[in-house]
Structure 1
């Protein structure tokens, strides 16, 4: 299925063309096409086994495609290693927290900033005494409502705050494409609401482009400009939240609903 959405004059940030991945004789992902425009939030959803994680891992470089191409800001990144894709401006969060638990919240952000500014690990203590770097870390923590936790050890803060910290670390690298992998997984309803509001706020700021995988449909329909629905490794539909919500195939394959005709046949 080809996504024909028109991007703005600067062109798409990410282009996915005929992307497939096979494991032996099994096609986990087959023929995916998608454009992600600058400052757009695109969510990838689908039932378990739909191929979401496989697609996501190919975009971030953790898996090489069997066929197809990935283009980031006009540059072919197909099959590049994750660290090379990251250096180009694509940063990813993970379902499992990926932070330094023995460091403070602020130090976690400072580690990312030292890497961004070209400081080696052995210069970390020197770099973090630089006021411009401290100010940059503090500004980012304030934006994510983590300022009050700046001097707490990361391992002691709540699960929801850890997920926010991981997003802060991702944003500290100044990515032009942010990949969020199940950002609200395992959260309480209150934590989910908080993270959803944050993502929406960041998206509305116009500073970031997001590609998100998420299981919580309230989150998806609350933050996404467009949604890619996957089913059995293929793109079932790409559209706005309203288009996806009302699509009969999506209602049957993903939401588990029957249309009126199916319901009548079942009743008879």
Structure 2
């Protein structure tokens, strides 16, 4: 039997007397893509913050690759192989696309001081940056300033920076938010392509149900901080509680 890469056990986060996340448990299998959906206020961001070390759980446990990472700081969790993108682009607009990726690679390899001089004379980092540019179809934008490229391309640069940390588990937070249909298609195709390599396990929060049902192997539905349903996209799509609580029982909204 395949051992989970991530085990979340009875995870809870309280703010005063209010539970933003309450007793959520889920096992994530290696190389799968698990989507986490739910209405605003369902607890998805708080859940992500606890997994990535930005918040300490009130109770419960998070185990990654058989190691307890509960409450560890973000940099230690990242070093162990868990990396996260954010809803808002987290890139350096005044730098080129290649320089952004070199920053992430230089930090990953352990010396972020005077990063530009280090990267400019470090051939292995340059080569690794070029490989990531090619993998994400960003080579043509390598010398463009990141601040002037399209929103969709900025999200791809951020994903490239996440991959530069060589994660085993990638947390994508609303990766297609604010995108045009063409940009959404590019990001969706990229996630599917990366998942197909078998190099990564993905957790993805997403409001676009078309994206969710296209990329996810399983879907966790959260509602009012709790786990409502966990199952395949088809099981979730047809679940009556999900349709009432989140999908609005509107077939056209959830058609794959």
Q: What's the TM-score, normalizing by structure 1? A: 0.91
Find the partner of 1:236 among 207, 212, 228.
Answer: 228
Cα offsets for 1:137-160 (capped at 9, x unmatched): 111111101000000011111111
Find the partner of 1:225 among 194, 217, 228.
Answer: 217
Cα separation, 2, equivalents of 1:191 and 1:123: 31
Aligned to 1:220, what secondary structure does the other structure show?
helix
- 1:164 is matched with which residue? 156
Larger Rg: 1
Cα offsets for 1:147-178 (capped at 9, x unmatched): 00000011111111000000000001100110
Query: Are 2:202 and 1:210 equivalent residues in the alignment?
Result: yes
- 1:177 is matched with which residue? 169
CA contact (8 A) 1:60 1:92 kept: yes
- 1:36 is matched with which residue? 28
Find the partner of 1:13 among 5, 13, 17.
Answer: 5
- 1:251 is matched with which residue? 243
Find runs of 4+ consecutive structure 1 residues off by over 4 angstroms. Answer: none
Find the partner of 1:150 among 142, 153, 162.
Answer: 142
Q: What's the TM-score, normalizing by structure 2? A: 0.95
Cα separation, 2, equivalents of 1:107 and 1:162: 13
Aligned residues: 251
Cα separation, 2, equivalents of 1:190 and 1:98: 21
Change in CA separation of 1:193 and 1:29 when aligned onto 2, cut-off 3 Å: same
Gaps of at least 5 residues in structure 2 are: 251-256
Cα separation, 1, equivalents of 2:236 and 2:118: 51
CA contact (8 A) 1:227 1:238 kept: yes
Cα separation, 2, equivalents of 1:133 and 1:161: 21
